[in-house]
A and B are shown apart, each in its own frame.
Chain A
Amino acid sequence: MRATVGDRIVIHGHRIGEPNRDCEVLEVRGSDGGPPYLVRWGDSGHEALFFPGTDASVQHFEHSN
């Protein structure tokens, strides 16, 4: 996975009825856009390190400088 600051990562539910979860990339700690990422979860504002598995996908956004 490659991500940049501001991207959204979606973690897909593992069971029927389990909602998707999402977080925002605040920092890229790996090299060349790779993980781990410092992320902020939803509306809670909690920050954590994120190590993506196959259940996660990244949604890139165009960033303007």
Chain B
Amino acid sequence: MRTIEMLHRSGVGVAPSRTIRDAAAIMEQAGVGSLAVVDGERLVGIVTDRDIVRRAVARAVPDDARVDSVMTTPVVTVGADDPLDVAFGLFATHGLRRLAVMRGDRFVGMLTIDDLFVSVVEQLASLAKPITAEILFSHRDAAVPVTT
């Protein structure tokens, strides 16, 4: 499976000159926990709700400061057409919760570790389905023929 096939959620981006207050309001309005920080067409960082809490609110940074003052950069990215295993590897290696998905130099969306959890659980459920009855009702198995 390619990474892009797991990208269900829409991504939202802001320019680096936008304020922290704007970024928080956009997160709330769009229902996302992270924003891509995009300068023209170039991805320059990621800002999360956690970044705003830890790097701005907790340090009394004014909410009209630029959002690039609290963003994470450089950004760990994965290619849209990379096998999903690559994304799994990056999550594991870097201890991240989000990966920026790129097609060439262009940002196309944000893959979250939650998306992968849901996928893994769904796959496990589909694997378990055929054998569930066997596990729960094993006594209904036909008896082995007795040979003499």
Selected from A48, A52, A55, the residue in CB contact (under 8 A) with B35 is A48
Count of chain A residues near B, Cβ 8 A: 22
> Number of contact residues on B: which range applies?
20 to 34
Question: A residues within 8 A CB of B41?
Answer: 29
A17 at the interface (CB under 8 A from B): no
Judging by beta carbons under 8 Å apart, are B107 and A55 in contact? no
Give residues of chain A (37-63) contacting chain B, Cβ–Cβ below 8 Å.
41-42, 44, 46, 48-56
B31 at the interface (CB under 8 A from A): yes
B7 at the interface (CB under 8 A from A): yes
Number of A-B contacts (CB under 8 A): 61
Interface of A is mostly: loop
Judging by beta carbons under 8 Å apart, are B10 and A56 in contact? yes
Judging by beta carbons under 8 Å apart, are A51 and B29 in contact? no
Q: How far is the CA of A8 from the CA of B21 in the complex (A)?
A: 25
Judging by beta carbons under 8 Å apart, are B109 and A42 in contact? no
B12 at the interface (CB under 8 A from A): yes
| A40 to B, closest residue via Cβ | B29
8 A-B pairs closest in CB distance: A49-B13, A51-B11, A41-B29, A53-B10, A56-B10, A48-B26, A53-B9, A54-B8
Instruction: Mark B residues whose CB is within 8 Å of A.
Output: 7-14, 22, 25-26, 29-31, 35-36, 38, 41, 107-109
